[in-house]
Amino acid sequence: EQQPLADHDGLVVTQKIISKAEDRIVDPEDIEPSHMARMAAAQGHKDASYYEVVLRESRRIVKMDRGVLVTETHHGLICANSGVDESNVAGGRTVTLLPVDPDASARALRAAIRERAGVDVAVIISDTFGRAWREGQVNVAIGVAGIAPLADYANQPDAYGYVMHASNIAVADELASAAELVMGKVDAVPVAIV
């Protein structure tokens, strides 16, 4: 059942569909692996060309263990394998890269929706991230437009009069995680209305 968009709705859009729309798709076979990529491949489960793509998408390696590279991307995100993803990409060997500027992508999508549908919505671009020292992954916001990504409760009293000092809630991340529950990882649903 389709539901029309309304002002003040929020859209959570998967990184994958944004990356595909922005042609951020690479065939690792077209990439010549470096010595570092070959070293990673010797420890891991993927070939050296894949690791070369990961290295090119990273600013630095935070940790490398059994072929998983935890990197800082050029955006400043800390994630596994620079966000380079093989899932849900047609063509077998191709991978998607994160959008070059996820906030700009969110702004452009928001503007296009406003122009075409005549509604003012917030846009959150989400991606799946692991969590340090915890099992399982959650979706987080990597790009945002039309919504404040954080709700700062500093200097506000709680119900008992205690003044908050360091409560800064990641609202966009919470919405991205909740939206993933209805989008599903393998259901080919790239957008949810929140």
- pTM for the whole thing? 0.91
- CATH among 3.30.1330.100, 3.40.190.10, 3.40.140.10, 3.40.50.10800 for 1-22+99-193: 3.30.1330.100
Find the angle CA(84)-CA(88)-CA(93) to the nearest 5 degrees: 65
Residue 2 pLDDT = 67
Residue 61 pLDDT = 94
Radius of gyration of the CA atoms of the chain, in A: 19
Q: Which regions in the chain score pLDDT beneath 70?
A: 1-2, 90-92
- CATH among 3.30.565.10, 3.40.50.360, 3.90.1660.10, 3.90.1150.10 for 25-98: 3.90.1660.10
Q: Where are the beta strands (DSSP E) in 46-174?
A: 58-65, 68-73, 78-80, 95-96, 122-131, 134-145, 151-152, 168-169
Mean pLDDT of the chain: 91
**Looking at the DSSP assignment, which residues form a beta bridge with residue 127?**
140
